[in-house]
Structure 1
Amino acid sequence: MNLEKPTDAHTPDPANPQFGSGANGYPSALPQYTQLSQNLPVTQSQINYNHITYALALFSYFTAGLTWIIPIVMNYLKRDEARNTWLYSHFDWQIKTFWYSIFFWVIGFVMVIFATGGLFFGAAFDSNHTMGGSFIVAALGGLIIVATVLWHLYRIIRGWIALANGRAVP
């Protein structure tokens, strides 16, 4: 929480033609704040904590995903402590990466499972059309899974590099 006193840059200017021109005398547009909200200092322990979460996310590739949930729980537990700092973007980045990865991985997995059933059904009833369509769906599902894994890995590496350089992630 930023406890600094507001400056003139934080208060709307009544002389501004947009001020008070909305319905019932309220501003028609929110005032633009010039001061960044990510300027509070961070502690070295917060940075180290984030290094650990990135390491665990990367380590999950060598444990068949068994450690994948741990960094997300850690990020949810400590994210609010980093609010209004550049480090908050890393917590948010990892959480979004996790949920988008889960979403797209499940879509790819469901496509592969249903397509595999179609392949067996097509083989059992000698239906080349069912087998061909199922193969295409299975291949597309597999591509979605591979793309999701590569995207997840890219985001872990990009975020970790930004953290090591003391920068926020977009």
Structure 2
Amino acid sequence: MNNPRPLVIDQKTSNDRLVMHVLYGMHTVAWLSLGTLAIIAVVVNYIKRGDEHDPLYLAHHGYMISTFWWTVFWLVITSPLYLLFVLPGMAAHTVVGLWYLYRCIRGWLRFSNGSIP
């Protein structure tokens, strides 16, 4: 007879919260580093998500990961606009950048309040 493993919920520490705040911060200011901080943060999100059991933390790691990949998707899709003229490409990338910033700030605030994004 199979005996399922019990669900283990780790007690979160202030260090765990600090890591999430740092990750949200890295995603939020990633534009200053031309996306390098976002790439580092998403790698850490994937690593931390694999070890996570808390639903709140899992949801926020997933939220940051999906925000990152949707942003990459829209940046790639709108890149051909630069071929028409620089202005449409810049406008599209500005909109995508503002959407990314909105998602980062919204998720960070929801994490600070202890709610799922």
Q: Is the TM-score greater than 0.5?
A: yes
Code of the residue aligned with 1:86 in structure 2: it is: L
- Partner of residue 37, structure 2: 67
Which of 75, 84, 106 is matched with 1:115 structurally? 84
Structure 1 unaligned spans of 5+: 5-39, 117-134
Which of the pair has more CA radius of gyration? 1
The 1-side partners of 2:101 and 2:5 are apart by 34
Deviation of 1:75 after TM superposition, in Å, equals 0.2
Structure with more relative contact order (C-alpha pairs < 8 Å, separation 6 or more):
2
- Whether 1:142 and 2:94 are equivalent positions in the alignment is no
Structure 2 unaligned spans of 5+: none
Deviation of 1:165 after TM superposition, in Å, equals 1.2
- Whether 1:43 and 2:43 are equivalent positions in the alignment is no
- Partner of residue 107, structure 2: 159
Cα RMSD over matched residues? Answer: 2.3
TM-score w.r.t. structure 2 length? 0.81
1:22-37 → structure 2 map (5 Å cutoff): none
1:49-128 → structure 2 map (5 Å cutoff): 49-112=19-82, 114-116=83-85
TM-score w.r.t. structure 1 length? 0.58
Aligned-pair identity in percent equals 27
The 2-side partners of 1:2 and 1:150 are apart by 43
Deviation of 1:80 after TM superposition, in Å, equals 2.1
Size of the aligned set, in residue pairs, is 112
